[in-house]
Amino acid sequence: MLTAALLPLLVHAGGVEFSDTSYEAAVERAAREDKPVFLDFTASWCRPCRMMDSQVFPDSSLGALVNEHFVAFKVDTQTPEGVQVATKYGISFLPTMIVLDSREQEIKRIKGYRDPVSLILELAPLKEPGATFGPE
């Protein structure tokens, strides 16, 4: 069940807008804007990752939340940069999503496929600067 605080997110159009820069540029932007970083670790061979790309990230409610309150960056674990970032965070399972605070400290780890509503419910408490939740 969605709470009243999340209902305004349901009317926003557009899905999650992932930064098309580098990991470092996304982290720098998050620090400038005092927003958490939402990292989506993915690979072309990962079927649940492709399902998230086609069924979850295009969701307008999820997009409203993530685009306003996070800096989103997709980490392709098949590229040199992606391998480095995945190694830095000990990624051994895909899909994995990590939320970092603006100082690159992990505040949430989400492993596996999530539908849009489940992901909204996991991310909504993290949208405020200074939110601290342990990794799962």
Whether residue 23 is contained in a domain is answered as yes
Distance separating alpha carbons of residues 127 and 51, to the nearest angstrom: 24
Q: Give yes or no for residue 56 having a pLDDT over 70.
A: yes
Task: Give the tokens for residue 106.
Answer: 């992990």
Domain containing 36 equals 14-120
Whether residue 102 is contained in a domain is answered as yes
Q: Mean of the pLDDT values across residues 87-91?
A: 97
**CATH assignment at residue 113:** 3.40.30.10
Label residue 40 by pLDDT band (50, 70, 90): very high
Q: Could you give the number of structural domains in the chain? A: 1
Label residue 102 by pLDDT band (50, 70, 90): confident
The confidence score (pLDDT) of residue 37 equals: 96
Alpha-carbon torsion angle 91, 96, 101, 105, nearest 10: -20
Q: Which residue has the higher pLDDT, 35 or 131?
A: 35
The confidence score (pLDDT) of residue 29 equals: 95
Distance separating alpha carbons of residues 136 and 79, to the nearest angstrom: 26
Q: How far apart are the first and last CA of the chain?
A: 22
Whether residue 35 is contained in a domain is answered as yes
| pTM of structure | 0.85
The confidence score (pLDDT) of residue 127 equals: 80
Mean pLDDT of all residues belonging to the chain: 88
Q: What are the C-alpha distances in Å from 69 to residues 62, 90, 95, 126?
A: 11, 25, 21, 9
Distance separating alpha carbons of residues 14 and 1, to the nearest angstrom: 22
In this structure, how many other beta carbons lie within 10 angstroms of the beta carbon of residue 100? 22
Whether residue 8 is contained in a domain is answered as no
Contact 93, 112 (CB under 8 A): yes
The confidence score (pLDDT) of residue 113 equals: 97
Q: Which residue has the higher pLDDT, 105 or 102?
A: 105
The confidence score (pLDDT) of residue 134 equals: 46
Whether residue 2 is contained in a domain is answered as no
17: helix, coil or strand? Answer: coil
> CA-based angle 108:88:24, to the nearest 5?
85
Whether residue 52 is contained in a domain is answered as yes
Whether residue 19 is contained in a domain is answered as yes
Whether residue 116 is contained in a domain is answered as yes
Written in H, E and C, the secondary structure of 69-82 is HCEEEEEECCCHHH
Q: Which residue has the higher pLDDT, 68 or 4?
A: 68
